[in-house]
Amino acid sequence: MAIKTVHEPDVEPEDLSRLATVFKCLGDPHRLVIVNHLFRGEHRVTDLVAHLGLAQSTVSSHVASLRDAGLLASHTHGRATYYTLAHPGYIRNLVRLTAALVRDGDNCAGQCGEFDNDHNGRDMEQEEH
Protein backbone atom coordinates (compact mmCIF):
# COMPACT_ATOMS: atom_id res chain seq x y z
CA MET A 1 0.00 0.00 0.00
CA ALA A 2 1.47 3.35 -1.04
CA ILE A 3 1.82 6.20 1.43
CA LYS A 4 0.93 9.63 0.13
CA THR A 5 2.34 12.72 1.81
CA VAL A 6 -0.20 15.41 2.59
CA HIS A 7 1.23 18.85 1.87
CA GLU A 8 0.42 21.98 3.84
CA PRO A 9 -1.58 24.60 1.93
CA ASP A 10 0.03 27.93 1.15
CA VAL A 11 -1.53 29.65 4.16
CA GLU A 12 0.52 31.56 6.68
CA PRO A 13 -0.05 30.40 10.27
CA GLU A 14 -1.20 33.87 11.30
CA ASP A 15 -3.94 33.73 8.62
CA LEU A 16 -5.46 30.45 9.82
CA SER A 17 -7.70 32.06 12.44
CA ARG A 18 -9.17 34.49 9.92
CA LEU A 19 -9.57 31.68 7.40
CA ALA A 20 -11.47 29.65 10.01
CA THR A 21 -13.71 32.67 10.65
CA VAL A 22 -14.55 32.96 6.95
CA PHE A 23 -15.34 29.25 6.60
CA LYS A 24 -17.37 29.24 9.81
CA CYS A 25 -19.31 32.25 8.58
CA LEU A 26 -20.02 30.61 5.23
CA GLY A 27 -21.00 27.40 7.01
CA ASP A 28 -24.45 28.77 7.78
CA PRO A 29 -27.04 28.00 5.05
CA HIS A 30 -28.84 31.34 5.49
CA ARG A 31 -25.58 33.23 5.06
CA LEU A 32 -24.89 31.29 1.88
CA VAL A 33 -28.32 32.32 0.58
CA ILE A 34 -27.45 35.95 1.39
CA VAL A 35 -24.10 35.65 -0.39
CA ASN A 36 -25.74 33.99 -3.38
CA HIS A 37 -28.38 36.74 -3.53
CA LEU A 38 -25.72 39.46 -3.33
CA PHE A 39 -24.08 38.06 -6.46
CA ARG A 40 -27.05 39.69 -8.23
CA GLY A 41 -26.16 43.12 -6.85
CA GLU A 42 -26.43 45.31 -3.80
CA HIS A 43 -29.33 44.95 -1.37
CA ARG A 44 -30.66 46.48 1.82
CA VAL A 45 -31.42 44.32 4.85
CA THR A 46 -35.13 44.80 4.13
CA ASP A 47 -34.60 43.33 0.65
CA LEU A 48 -32.81 40.34 2.17
CA VAL A 49 -35.59 39.91 4.76
CA ALA A 50 -38.14 39.67 1.94
CA HIS A 51 -35.95 37.21 0.03
CA LEU A 52 -35.18 34.96 3.01
CA GLY A 53 -38.46 35.23 4.88
CA LEU A 54 -36.62 35.61 8.19
CA ALA A 55 -37.00 38.23 10.91
CA GLN A 56 -35.11 41.47 10.35
CA SER A 57 -33.06 40.95 13.52
CA THR A 58 -31.97 37.51 12.28
CA VAL A 59 -30.99 38.82 8.85
CA SER A 60 -29.18 41.78 10.43
CA SER A 61 -27.21 39.36 12.60
CA HIS A 62 -26.24 37.28 9.57
CA VAL A 63 -25.23 40.41 7.64
CA ALA A 64 -23.12 41.59 10.59
CA SER A 65 -21.35 38.22 10.72
CA LEU A 66 -20.60 38.35 6.99
CA ARG A 67 -19.39 41.94 7.31
CA ASP A 68 -17.21 41.15 10.34
CA ALA A 69 -15.64 38.26 8.40
CA GLY A 70 -14.69 40.74 5.67
CA LEU A 71 -17.06 39.27 3.11
CA LEU A 72 -19.43 42.24 2.79
CA ALA A 73 -18.96 45.91 2.07
CA SER A 74 -21.60 48.57 2.58
CA HIS A 75 -22.48 52.12 1.63
CA THR A 76 -25.26 54.41 2.68
CA HIS A 77 -27.62 56.34 0.48
CA GLY A 78 -29.81 58.62 2.52
CA ARG A 79 -30.99 56.58 5.48
CA ALA A 80 -30.59 53.22 3.74
CA THR A 81 -27.52 51.00 3.96
CA TYR A 82 -26.76 48.86 0.92
CA TYR A 83 -24.65 45.71 1.15
CA THR A 84 -22.47 44.19 -1.54
CA LEU A 85 -19.90 41.43 -1.66
CA ALA A 86 -16.51 42.84 -0.69
CA HIS A 87 -14.57 40.65 -3.14
CA PRO A 88 -17.13 39.07 -5.48
CA GLY A 89 -14.59 37.32 -7.70
CA TYR A 90 -12.81 35.62 -4.82
CA ILE A 91 -16.06 34.72 -3.08
CA ARG A 92 -17.55 33.32 -6.30
CA ASN A 93 -14.43 31.17 -6.81
CA LEU A 94 -14.51 29.98 -3.20
CA VAL A 95 -18.18 29.03 -3.41
CA ARG A 96 -17.74 27.29 -6.77
CA LEU A 97 -14.66 25.35 -5.65
CA THR A 98 -16.35 24.31 -2.42
CA ALA A 99 -19.47 23.24 -4.33
CA ALA A 100 -17.28 21.16 -6.68
CA LEU A 101 -15.50 19.60 -3.70
CA VAL A 102 -18.82 18.65 -2.10
CA ARG A 103 -20.17 17.33 -5.41
CA ASP A 104 -17.07 15.36 -6.36
CA GLY A 105 -15.36 14.68 -3.04
CA ASP A 106 -16.95 11.37 -2.03
CA ASN A 107 -19.53 13.08 0.14
CA CYS A 108 -16.85 15.06 1.98
CA ALA A 109 -19.46 17.20 3.72
CA GLY A 110 -21.00 14.15 5.36
CA GLN A 111 -17.62 12.76 6.32
CA CYS A 112 -16.30 15.98 7.86
CA GLY A 113 -17.95 15.31 11.21
CA GLU A 114 -16.70 11.74 11.18
CA PHE A 115 -13.16 12.99 10.50
CA ASP A 116 -13.32 15.40 13.43
CA ASN A 117 -14.55 12.66 15.75
CA ASP A 118 -11.96 10.12 14.57
CA HIS A 119 -8.97 12.45 14.77
CA ASN A 120 -9.96 14.81 17.58
CA GLY A 121 -8.55 17.82 15.73
CA ARG A 122 -5.10 16.29 15.14
CA ASP A 123 -3.45 17.06 11.82
CA MET A 124 -2.78 14.15 9.53
CA GLU A 125 0.76 14.06 8.22
CA GLN A 126 0.29 10.97 6.11
CA GLU A 127 -2.68 9.53 4.35
CA GLU A 128 -3.10 6.05 2.99
CA HIS A 129 -3.70 6.02 -0.73
- Per-residue pLDDT of 48-101, as tens digits, reads 999 999 999 999 999 999 999 999 999 999 999 999 999 999 999 999 998 898
Beta strands (DSSP E) in 21-78 are 72-77
- Kindly state whether residue 127 falls inside one of the protein's structural domains: no
Residue 113: predicted pLDDT? 54
Report the alpha-carbon distance of residue 108 to residue 28 in Å, rounded. Answer: 17
Res 5: pLDDT: 73
Domain holding 104, by residue range, is 15-121
- Overall number of domains in the chain: 1
pLDDT value at residue 52: 97
> Does residue 7 belong to any structural domain of this protein?
no
pLDDT digits (tens, 9 = 90+) for 89-117: 999 999 999 889 888 876 555 555 554 44
Domain membership of residue 48 (yes or no) is: yes
pLDDT digits (tens, 9 = 90+) for 31-41: 999 999 999 99
Q: Which of 13, 103, 26, 7 minimizes the C-alpha distance to 72?
A: 26
Q: What is the CATH number of the domain that holds 56?
A: 1.10.10.10
84 touches 48 (CB < 8 A): no
pLDDT at residue 24, as a whole number: 94
